[in-house]
Amino acid sequence: MKYCCLKCNKCWNHPVETCIFCGKSVTPAQETQYQVIGTSEVFVPSTGNEKVPYFVNILEDLHGHKKIEKSFKMYQIGDIIDVEHEEVQKEQIGIIGSGLLGSQLASYFIQQGYPTVLKTRTEISATKAFSKIHKLIAKKMSDAETESILQHLIITTDYSGLADCDIIIEAVVEDLDIKRDIFQTLSKVCKPSAILATNSSSLSITELANATDRPEKCIGMHFFNPVHRMDLVEIVIGELTSDATKSASINIVTALNKKPIVVKNSTGYVVNRLLLPQINEAILLLEEGIASKEDIDSAIKLGLNHPMGPFQLADFIGLDICLSILNTLFENFNEPKYQPTQLLQDMVSNNKLGMKSGEGFYKYI
Amino acid sequence: MFINGIGRTKFGSLTKNLPELTYEAMVNAIKDSPLNITDIDAIFVSNFLGGPLNGQLHFNSIIASLLPSLNIPIVRIETACASSSVALNQALNSLVKTPNIMIVGVEKMTGMHLISPTDAIAMAGDYKNDFEQGLIFPAAYALIAQQYMSKYGISHEVLEQVSYINHKNAKLNPLAHFYHKDVTMEMIRKSPMVASPLNLFDCSPLSDGASAIIISNTKQSDRDVKILSSHIATDTISLTQRDNLTSFNATKIASMKVYKDTGITPNMVDILEVHDCFTISELIALEDLGFCNPGEAPELIENGSVLPGGENPVNTDGGLKANGHPIGATGLAQIYEIVTQLRGEAGKRQISDPEIGLTQNIGGIGGTCGITLLERV
């Protein structure tokens, strides 16, 4: 994509906003057709281009704007390439819930240029969410950029504000009944083509879908905290989720520069089903006095190359959340390996919840 | 010799890449100046880690790509953290031949890099003698801090004060890296150790950002600021070759030359920007620049002299600690702050009626130093 000043007849390869020659704003120049004016077959690998041979082509559009494009297909000089260069109309996103994940999601989507409607319960939480999102963005941007990004954000306390959204991601508390109510409401207010997604980390998509008028359009999109750093999204497929809904969800996650993985609806999906038994087992090791928590953390970090040990991670997630996911796993699979340890239950009832309460397995200031 | 235009980006962990940051600062400087980009005869660009972090060298040609068909001379200057004050110094030497010069400094330190920033920054030290023994940058300053603390019998508390004051100043600077962060003494005290005795709040952050200024050999407008003098000096880089570990010779020599050039003495300076890449280095700067005797800098911190309302306001923009330290842009950001203050355009952080300002910008552990003295016209 080129960015051109029509007055000065100058173009940039970067999305510059202002022409430094005349001070006028710069417009993106879009092209759909390029002609191959040169091509070379490359036999020497380099970082990011390990697979050889490949072709590197120089292309030119009708205005004489050139660009370099790699391909594995061979072109002849003079070939015409049609590139889908029309700016893709970005989907409108709805987010329900302004908790930790909800506000991070809203902040991430607007930074990626998606018009986003955030639905909160009260005016007070709307104000809080706005200042939280403002702060998240202002850390990285100038005031002018922050303002322009915040233009993408609408905060509402009314479900009808979600009527035009293409994808709605629900990120409220992990409670099946509350989520079912929300999904029921959504099927009344959202347009028929809208995809209804949940950010649930372990609940059944199929059960949520059954509360709506469109189970084929219901899906799980499980993002991880912190959203801007964690690249994985679990795409969870319910019994009736359609292929179209699945591929639309994969496309949007890919467009967000994240890695989608596809998981059949099953309690805990992949990540939590692997993680929580590990945390539970680590607590058992501690209870049995086999090793200290510091040494168990070191074992996982240095022996398995995880960035955090199970106790550090459990404190970060929140011990109440760990307990609730373990309970869900235990209830659904009814296998002793998922049964929460006594120590975990005791800590949660003593309000030792991890980082957020100031103390979990470790103490925090 | 006059500065007639200044521009910068916000500092912090930013989404823009290296050329985009550079362009934004250049556009802002041109908007601020009465000159047009086509009036510029040459550009000096300062950048430290474009090669190891961003995979981008031959950076002068990238600047040329941002200014299609201008085809003017452009040169990159690299002297680690002192790159941009040295670029300014070299540009001043060229003003005789080329009447209008832009100097732009930039660094992109967050996000994807080819090697770790700690390894890359260590390239400013003596690789063979020091780095191979694990002397990363914070460790070098830690050794200096330890020497200083035992020599003058001070505790870490003074360094905590330096950090606190700089963060407080940054809260008044919307472009600062930590503009949005409320920092308490408690947070500073309890922050994790980086290299003892220095903890996290003794260290400047990894920042992205760019700053640019335009200089001319004739006055362009009443908003111009006069460059009274600019000098650079160098010194051995390895601590093993230094006699005195609590002072930087390069700062002393370059500042002496500036004072000698102009007849200005430290007591005539109304505002200064010093290179507090680590809190200890602010203390050493105040002493090397002659604002107090060796060992007396902690008094200037404790008696409030360095505060915006004090006798010698220091780092009103938040300093490297809290305004941020995008290495190649830092020296020019210091100039940006002094020019803003001398013009009386610093808004909430404006100090009362300054006439003369000084900047001190060092590279490595004092291997290079650039001093610039500016005056209101």
Interface with A, mutate which of B10, B14, B199, B348 (most A CBs under 10 A): B10
Q: Which of B49, B104, B113, B52 is nearest to B363 (CA)?
A: B49
Quick one: what percent of chain A has pLDDT higher than 70? 98
More confident residue, A53 or A214: A214
Backbone φ, ψ for residue A237 (5° rounding): -100, 120
d(CA A160, CA A190): 8
Q: pLDDT by residue (tens digit) across B82-125? A: 999 999 999 999 998 899 999 999 999 998 788 899 999 999 99
Distance CA(B165)–CA(B322), nearest Å, equals 9
Q: Is the pLDDT of residue B299 over 50?
A: yes
Query: pLDDT tens digits, residue range A65-101?
Result: 898 988 888 899 999 987 654 445 789 999 999 988 9
A29 Cβ under 8 Å from any chain B Cβ: no
Please answer whether residues B26 and B66 qualify as being in contact, where contact means their C-beta atoms are separated by less than 8 angstroms. yes
pLDDT, residue A87, reads 47
Does the pLDDT value for residue A32 go beyond 80?
no
Tell me, yes or no, if A24 comes closer than 8 A to chain B by beta carbon: no
Q: Write out pLDDT tens, residues A184-212.
A: 999 999 999 999 999 998 889 999 999 99
Q: How confident is the model at residue B141 (pLDDT cuts 50, 70, 90)?
A: very high
pTM value?
0.71
Q: Kindly list the residues from chain A whose CB atom is less than 8 angstroms away from the CB atom of residue B174.
A: 143
CA distance A138 to chain B (A): 8
pLDDT tens figures, B66-78: 999 999 999 999 9
Q: Which residues of B touch A10 (CB under 8 A)?
A: 68-69
- pLDDT tens digits, residue range A262-280? 999 999 999 999 999 999 9
- Is the pLDDT reported for residue B322 higher than 60? yes
CA distances from B84 to B37, B80, B275, B331 (A): 20, 9, 12, 5
Residue to test with chain B: of A7, A20, A67, most B Cβ within 10 A = A20
Residue B50 is encoded by which pair of tokens? 């474009």
A15 touches chain B (CB under 8 A): yes
Tell me how far apart the alpha carbons of residues B246 and B249 are, in angstroms, rounded to a whole number.
10
pLDDT per residue as tens digits for the range A118-166: 999 999 999 999 999 998 888 877 777 888 899 999 999 999 999 999 9
Contact criterion met (CB below 8 Å) for B298 and B158? yes
| Residue A269: C-alpha distances to residues A118, A275, A319, B264 (Å) | 26, 10, 19, 71
Q: Which residues of A touch B37 (CB under 8 A)?
A: 20-21
CB neighbour class for A72 (10 Å; exposed up to 12, middle 13-18, buried from 19): exposed
Q: Which of A15, A111, A139 sits opposite B180 (nearest CB)?
A: A139
* Sheet with strand A10-12: strands edge to edge: A10-12, A2-5, A27-29
What is the pairing mode between strands B2-8 and B225-234? antiparallel
Which chain B residues are within 8 Å of A365, Cβ to Cβ? 186, 190
Spatial distance between the Cα atoms of B339 and B377, rounded to a whole number of angstroms: 11
Q: Do A16 and B13 touch (CB under 8 A)?
A: no
Instruction: Give the pLDDT of residue A201.
Output: 85
pLDDT digits (tens, 9 = 90+) for B6-46: 999 999 999 899 999 999 999 999 999 999 999 999 999 99
The interface predicted TM-score (ipTM) is 0.90
Minimum CA–CA partner of A47 in chain B: B114
Q: How confident is the model at residue B340 (pLDDT cuts 50, 70, 90)?
A: very high
Mode of pairing for the β-strands spanning A259-264 and B2-8: unpaired
